[in-house]
Amino acid sequence: MKCYCVVNFREPLQMLDMAKPTPEGGEVLISVSAAGVCHSDIHLWEGGYDLGNGRTLSLKDRGVRLPLTPGHETVGVAEASGPDATGVQLGHKYLVYPWIGCGSCPACNSGAENHCSAPRCLGIHRPGGYAEYMIVPDTKYLIDIGDLDPSQIAPYACSGLTTYSALKK
């Protein structure tokens, strides 16, 4: 399958041909329909986050390894699932929630995986949606979008959540 990857920071993304993954356990294979480009993808490509006052958070410190397939705003069709996956309907379109944690710390256990200090986010720590297919580790990260437009819904996974969070505050 084709993947658009950051191979070296600050160089154009390269198209790599990788093996199409097979879902195992509770995983789901998503055939990508739409992938948003986020502001933070630019930082990913640059190799770090500007924290202001001349300070930078390097992606190495954040656990990012290259080559990386970015893309954390993804909608796709569930094509296959592992033997332990429950509640997914193959052929349905899903928005993929990318902010995945370690699954065992207090933040994760309280349902706030986005606050996990050992994150395993899709498109940052693990392959994301700039590819023909991506693996989602559990069906709980999939939101069925029915007949909504994938390209309109994909940014909800990050841009939409950011706006929602700001409004709630």
Q: Which residues bind Zn ion (CB under 5 A)?
A: 38, 40, 101-102, 105, 108, 116, 158
Give the residue with the Cβ less far from Zn ion, 38 or 85. 38
* 73 contact partners, CB below 8 Å, separation of at least 6: 35, 36, 37, 38, 98, 129, 154, 155, 156, 157, 158, 159
To the nearest whole angstrom, how small is the minimum distance from the Cβ of residue 110 to Zn ion? 10
Separation between Cα atoms, residue 35 and residue 119, nearest integer Å:
21
Question: Shortest Cβ distance from residue 161 to Zn ion (Å)?
Answer: 9
Q: From CA 156, how far away is CA 24, in angstroms rounded?
A: 27
**Tokens standing for residue 81:** 């699932």
Please, what is the end-to-end C-alpha distance for the chain in angstroms?
41
Q: Select 85 or 116, whichever has its Cβ closest to Zn ion.
A: 116
CB of 91 to Zn ion, least distance (A): 27
Positive or negative CA dihedral for 21, 27, 30, 34?
negative
Q: Please state, in angstroms and rounded to a whole number, the distance separating the CA atoms of residues 13 and 29.
A: 23
What's the closest the beta carbon of residue 57 comes to Zn ion, in angstroms? 15
Min dist CB 116 to Zn ion, Å, is: 3
- Closer of 89 and 163 to Zn ion (Cβ): 163
Please identify, using beta-carbon distances, which residue of 42 and 90 lies nearer to Zn ion.
42
Closer Cβ to Zn ion, 146 or 169, answer by number: 169
Q: Is residue 2 a contact partner of residue 14, using CB atoms and an 8 Å limit?
A: no
140-143-144 Cα angle (round to 5): 125
